[in-house]
Structure 1
């Protein structure tokens, strides 16, 4: 397994790409209202990319036909934006977005609530998924191993009170990944510990990883629709997806796709985020 190690200058470029992704998140979150279509959200993302002079790393990737992934309710990941998919009050939507700046990639996802009146278990599902991501980010330390991130994510989820549906399903077939000069690179990051995978590579300065737990209100198993992209839970329970791209530095983790570099959330966990290379 060859892991790409970045220089500080390359990490700074990834930070630029990450801030474009953060801008896409802000704009699409605001646009995700009842009556909007997922194609409307894709158009919003295209405009943000154009405004920043960045390129999409999703459009055309393996034939993917859109700028972002829009995954509604029981769709876990890779939902294709469509004029026929109209958001309704009470829906949840996971928006996965990316950007390329000077050949360097950013990638992140979040779950948004459409309208009002969401069931408490949906609000808790998103909270648990997001916080498990931050638990994983907190394990991004010089000298740790990849499995330490997986263990932190799984441990956080398993320790939460069970939802009314009986359990949280940690999606098995999809996970995080290395990121840098390409969007998807080695290593693959599981969101749970597998004895078959071993400890994984050591985390060293310049190591960059996209951490992205996906959690359902039921089964961890999924299937793909005939479009070869859209991934649904087998039992059609709703799911949440959160993701950030993170760099290991000599001074701690740098959350490349968070506006503040991860400072506020990491501070809550007693961790100091690395200084922002862009100032």
Structure 2
């Protein structure tokens, strides 16, 4: 049940805008609506866009170098060097004890994989590289899947492809004045056609002025549920799709308590972009 205190207020002394009227309408219907500070100013959007382009450049640098026999520590080294050369900061580094600059999640590792010298990429591995960087106080966030050596099993190839389709379908469902549940419903429906599990313990999120902000963007759910999404909001969609169960666990051998493993240890995949909600749909800020 919503807190009775209103989340959205018109600016005192100013006429109601179309945005005000639509948000206040849905709030009157008992829907969860954003607070005004979740709507970014044009200046903030431009800053986030620049950070997103830099973040994409970092992932491009990884894509140009990734190969069989490479260690995930070498991926971290590429990301650190890129950030140093571009005067930005890798946001994951030392975030709540995370020891590296980027997440590298191989095969059954769902997310938050920690780069290591002993993790050597083999032909047929699938690996998610998830990068977030901070440039002048603005944040870019995205991840990509890589098939090492360019070939893997048909089952893994399908998982990687379908997960990317889930991201695209979720983005198509994200319309101005839609709800978070509309995105999750579309993703879940597509993934479950293939018998895949949509991870529920982790989600997308608001981003831009810090690495993790409201709202949470669930990748499963029902239409018309969750927070109202309005023009000017910036958030990630990053479905984590497991070949088997949607359940996950934290690797007991990880001394940092970060690495998330699929519950049945079957492969998992993830794709992520940062999106700006506009008057006509979403714009990708991370490419």
Q: Identify whether the pair has TM-score above 0.5, normalized to the shorter chain.
A: yes
SS in 1 for 2:229: coil
Q: Which is greater in Rg? A: 2
1:230 aligns with 2:259: yes
- In the alignment, structure 1 segments of 5+ residues that lack a partner are 259-279
1:199 paired residue among 225, 229, 248:
225
| Pairwise CA distance, 1:86 | 0.7
Show the 5 A alignment for 1:59-74: 59-74=93-108
Stretches of 4+ aligned residues off by more than 4 angstroms? none
Aligned residues: 250
Q: CA deviation at 1:117?
A: 3.5
Deviation string 1:214-237 (CA, Å, 9 cap, x unpaired) is 111111111102330011012110
Worse overlay, 44-53 or 31-40 = 44-53
Match of 2:217 among 189, 205, 212: 189
Shift of residue 250 of structure 1?
2.8
Query: In structure 1, how many angstroms separate the alpha carbons of the residues matched to 2:186 and 2:262?
Result: 23
Match of 1:178 among 187, 196, 206: 206
Structure 1 residue 169 displacement after superposition = 1.2
Deviation at residue 251 of structure 1 after TM alignment? 4.6
In the alignment, the residues of structure 1 paired with residue 198 and residue 92 of structure 2 have an alpha-carbon distance, to the nearest angstrom, of 24
Match of 1:257 in 2: 286
The aligned counterpart of 1:90 is 124
Q: Would you say the 8 A contact 1:4–1:180 is kept in 2?
A: no
Equivalent residue for 1:11, pick from 45, 51, 56: 45
Map of 2:187 onto structure 1: 153
Q: Distance in 2 between matches of 1:91 and 1:75?
A: 11
Extract unaligned runs of 5+ from structure 2: 1-33
On the 8 A contact 1:20/1:48 being kept in 2, the answer is: no
Q: CA RMSD in A?
A: 1.6
**SS of the counterpart of 1:115?**
helix
Pairing 1:1-279 to 2, within 5 Å after superposition = 2=35, 4-159=38-193, 162=194, 167-193=195-221, 199-226=225-252, 227=255, 228-258=257-287
Match of 2:9 in 1: none
- Retained in 2: the 8 A contact 1:150–1:192? yes
